[in-house]
Structure 1
């Protein structure tokens, strides 16, 4: 690259820094705490105060809401525990009345499948007639 564009860039940067410093000095001179605030600034201060008050009220209301939620949840939790105990008692009573099953559902299906296999074997034996035949391939 040629060195000329770097020189132009450095000069432009220096000019912009000088103009930025001049604007910063003008803006710092413009604010004087002894002067009365313009109407927009006084409104800004008032709005900030109202914002702080609103934030405090919001935090207080949030705390009250959490406390109310906790009370409501504790009452609901007590009801659910009572209902759970009642249902457990009903389950125990129902299980004591019902006779104990010998086989589970899976075991019943296994026994049913075995029975079907035995019946199919017996049907196959009876269908052949108990005779032994010599089976040969026909050529």
Structure 2
């Protein structure tokens, strides 16, 4: 063990009996305060009351400020929402109606490609029937 920690441990062992020997003051009797300590306590209590009053005032101010901010923000959002709804109505009115949806368009394109491939296959075979050799 290091010498410094050993000295610290030894001094703590010597202090523990003194700490245990002290008795607490009886609960019925209070130690007499000096006049300066009493005045300091009353002054601190007054400061505490003043601080609590200021804190309450500030919390009320903060609450009203946040309510005003939320109200202003809510009004702006409502205006923007109405503006966007008008834009949407205008866009729908000016847009030409589509005959087919995107999925239906892809279906028609696929069918057209299939018919074109079948037509090319028929034309490529020469148009006449010949006997296939592998069908024995």
TM-score range (shorter-chain normalised) is 0.5 to 0.7
Deviations 1:18-57 (A, max 9, x none): xx7x75xx21249942511598898677657645643443
User: Cα–Cα, structure 1 residues 133 and 40, in superposed 2: closer, same or farther, change >3 Å?
Assistant: farther
> Which residue, 81, 86, 95 being the options, matches 1:84?
81
- Which sections of structure 2, spanning at least 5 residues, go unmatched? 1-19
- Number of residues of Structure 1 aligned to a counterpart in Structure 2: 116
How far apart are residue 65 of structure 1 and its match?
1.1
User: Cα–Cα, structure 1 residues 33 and 94, in superposed 2: closer, same or farther, change >3 Å?
Assistant: same
Cα separation, 1, equivalents of 2:103 and 2:33? 91
- Which sections of structure 1, spanning at least 5 residues, go unmatched? 1-19
Deviations 1:49-84 (A, max 9, x none): 645643443343223212111111112211221221
What's the TM-score, normalizing by structure 2?
Answer: 0.63
Structure having greater relative contact order (Cα 8 Å, sep ≥ 6): 2
What's the TM-score, normalizing by structure 1?
Answer: 0.62
How far apart are residue 132 of structure 1 and its match?
2.4
Cα separation, 2, equivalents of 1:81 and 1:32? 68
Question: Match for residue 95 of structure 1?
Answer: 92
